[in-house]
Structure 1
């Protein structure tokens, strides 16, 4: 994994990003003042429960939020271009060529009535002037890169003739076709079995290292982040509550929410180990549910579910550093364990 980040060469640099929806005289913020940066070849994991704002963040980064959604940012640079005032024409020039998205459902990418070769050739021709023969060669090579055997034959198939895992590999291949600078992947392996998931994760990591493509991987699965990412951002109720190098955040989480996610994950929970009496312990759970968009409490949104909450938590905490590159948004962060 590439753990070195140079902000000067960031593929994506966004600060103060918010996505709001006007409702009954007020604005509900699905994404609230978040900042992200990703360097070439770097994998950034964005983690959180359903409803935390992860997918809305992804759509905003590709200019896919439609009215009545309102996107604002203090800084929004993508591949060196300032995108805050970009129109749809400018976004079309970037999407598919410089930035691509992989959806959770591959049929968001694939047209069910067109053969795979037709769809991949169209994706190439949208951004490059090459002949059909050369485009077909590029398409077959892209399928081979994501582990699809007998790629020329698969090009003649329709999506319904492929398995779910195969369709997702095709969707990933289409995202890679034009060698984008950044890929945004919105939980693309959630519906796949663990064997296929592991294969795709390994392939994506190798492709990013080989090509220099940056990857934003959105998931609720901390095990995926541990295996894939260089850095991780933990999101709750529209805000980033913790971020830093993945090894640090997972080994020594500073936010109670991050700790709760880890304790409720089988791979990280103490239930995997026997206690002194030889009995196993149950997985921990975070009490309550994430707040709905229109019902988020004032101050720290995690306050109603947090055992460490106090009156101070009626205010919104700022992101503060707990170690170099590791930040937390909490008035009562967990104590770090000294080496």
Structure 2
């Protein structure tokens, strides 16, 4: 029997500082996503893309109250609020939400939607901590803030749209290798579990992933998986806006997502594919492959 799945595109590049990531959803679809989902015995329905204001139209200085230095925060709030509704409605309809980004700021909406009527854990596969706030950000780019946002850190604690029903002790960041000084200090006090590339080097990807999944699954109703393609080494995934050397390999990434699929995953997002920076749609192809592993694909 096929399983219902809803593909939700979010062509957002307002949270980043490089253009092109808004074409990520199209590139991922072009890489054969639909056929892969059908092969996995899902019944996919693609609802298209949420409308997103272009940076040429939006005002980076138009901020809502108490947002500090956060570019396009009003537009980000608008998109993430609608995305949260879409994800929550998908789950209420008994379908699995697969969200395609777009920059990582969209995770504020994905997590809020997944956690609306449930206690949810979050596993975050990323090179970056994404734990800045409008007060601490060195760039003002909201794609560096979503974890802090959905946990209600700093000024995000005064918002209704950003803070989600997620406990810090049920959040695990896996594969970090680029952390700002303030983020490092805040993370140490946060209760969030952090697994760096050094941990993966020392212990191996499967051991680290299993511990992270144990953390996020403890006492929760399911897991939201957030996959940023810059988690991988740039030699594997060149089409990302903020590449960092020393990331996970092709097989390490698949091994982690294969382990993740064995748990109670209730929602998945794939973000930060930038076709302008890619080579022959290689990163989008990889995004489809990894999403398939996260949804249960096996070698045999």
TM range (shorter): 0.3 to 0.5
Q: Please identify which structure carries the higher helix content.
A: 2
TM-score, normalization by structure 1: 0.32
Q: Please identify which structure carries the higher strand content.
A: 1
